[in-house]
């Protein structure tokens, strides 16, 4: 479910941006007749895309891994999107080039911010790993896995699987930690740490 919605969100965001880029280019190059024709043609599609954009976005915002230090970037992104939309509506209604361009800038800026946000999440994990004095399986699990899987393994954020129900053995869990699989990115730990975590998951979470 998470995966399907994530992919739909990407697709809808790209379509949304595409329509806005075309409209803004037409407005900026004074092709007002063409702009009116284009706007009329895509009107229904635009309404559907906007609803899907918001719907999938709201769902995904409920699936953010817990306790991220860079979560504010996500909220800045959200504010930029919500500012961009009314500015765009007014901009196109009044054929105001500055507002239209500003809105496009906000939307593309928020797109870039989403990228920075994903990267920072990875960096944060590394910092926590270095700070860990006691590198035992449980604390490694807490700092690397619990944000999506939860302390009990059942949280299931961001499309994560329920680890209490896993059928995998230590070596298969180890492999997923180090190499990632599907929506789960490879986790930034060394093989020794991965092994400790896998033992912990196998002995204390699986089947509990
Ligand atoms: C950013 C979120 C996230 C983090 C952090 C994360 N996982 Fe996952 N995990 C997932 C997702 C999503 C899946 C489903 C992968 C797929 O699509 O196949 C998953 C799947 C798994 C599975 C497979 C379960 C099964 O039965 O198929 C295991 C095992 C697992 N994770 C262990 C871990 C361990 C151990 C850690 C920490 C070292 C960890 N995960 C950290 C998101 C995460």
- Is the minimum distance from the CB of 121 to ligand 1 under 6 angstroms? no
Q: How far is the CA of 176 from the centre of ligand 1 (A)?
A: 7
Residue 121 has pLDDT above 70, yes or no: no
- Is the minimum distance from the CB of 128 to ligand 1 under 6 angstroms? no
Relative to the CA of 3, which ligand 1 atom is closest?
17
pLDDT (0 to 100) of residue 125:
59
- Is the minimum distance from the CB of 148 to ligand 1 under 6 angstroms? yes
Relative to the CA of 2, which ligand 1 atom is closest?
12
- Is the minimum distance from the CB of 26 to ligand 1 under 6 angstroms? no
> Pocket of ligand 1, candidates 145, 184, 187, 194: which has the most ligand atoms within 8 Å of its Cβ, to mutate?
184
Within 13 A of 177's CA, how many CA atoms are on the CB side? 30
The 3-state DSSP class for residue 189 equals coil
Residue whose C-alpha is closest to residue 200's, from 160, 173, 178: 173
The end-to-end CA distance of the chain, in Å, is 24
pLDDT (0 to 100) of residue 69:
67
pLDDT (0 to 100) of residue 37:
95
pLDDT tens sequence across 180-190: 999 999 999 99
Q: How far is the CA of 82 from the centre of ligand 1 (A)?
A: 32
- Is the minimum distance from the CB of 67 to ligand 1 under 6 angstroms? no
**CB 53 within 8 Å of CB 20:** no
- Is the minimum distance from the CB of 182 to ligand 1 under 6 angstroms? yes
Within 13 A of 99's CA, how many CA atoms are on the CB side? 13
The 3-state DSSP class for residue 42 equals coil
pTM: 0.67
Average pLDDT of the residues in 141-148: 93
The 3-state DSSP class for residue 6 equals helix
Q: How far is the CA of 187 from the centre of ligand 1 (A)?
A: 9
Residue having the nearest C-alpha atom to atom 22 of ligand 1: 161
Average pLDDT of the chain, as a whole number? 87
pLDDT tens sequence across 21-59: 999 999 999 998 999 999 999 999 999 998 999 899 889
């Amino acid at each position: 479910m998470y995966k399907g919605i994530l992919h739909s969100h990407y697709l809808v965001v790209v379509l949304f941006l595409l329509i806005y880029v075309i409209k803004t280019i037409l407005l900026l190059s004074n092709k007002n007749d063409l702009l009116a024709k284009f706007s009329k043609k895509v009107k229904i599609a635009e309404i559907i895309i906007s609803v899907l954009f918001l719907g999938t976005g709201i769902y995904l915002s409920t699936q953010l891994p817990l306790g991220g230090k860079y979560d504010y970037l996500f909220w800045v992104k959200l504010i930029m999107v919500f500012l961009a939309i009314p500015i765009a509506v007014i901009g196109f209604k009044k054929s105001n080039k500055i507002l239209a361009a500003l809105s496009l800038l906000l939307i593309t800026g928020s797109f870039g911010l989403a990228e920075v946000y994903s990267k920072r999440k990875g960096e944060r994990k590394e910092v926590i790993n270095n700070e860990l004095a006691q590198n035992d399986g449980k604390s490694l699990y807490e700092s690397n896995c619990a944000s999506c899987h939860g302390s009990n393994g059942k949280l299931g954020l961001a499309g994560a699987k329920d680890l209490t129900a896993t059928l995998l053995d230590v070596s298969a869990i180890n492999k997923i930690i180090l190499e990632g699989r599907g929506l789960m990115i490879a986790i930034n730990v060394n093989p020794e740490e991965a092994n400790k975590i896998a033992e912990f998951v196998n002995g204390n979470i699986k089947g509990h």
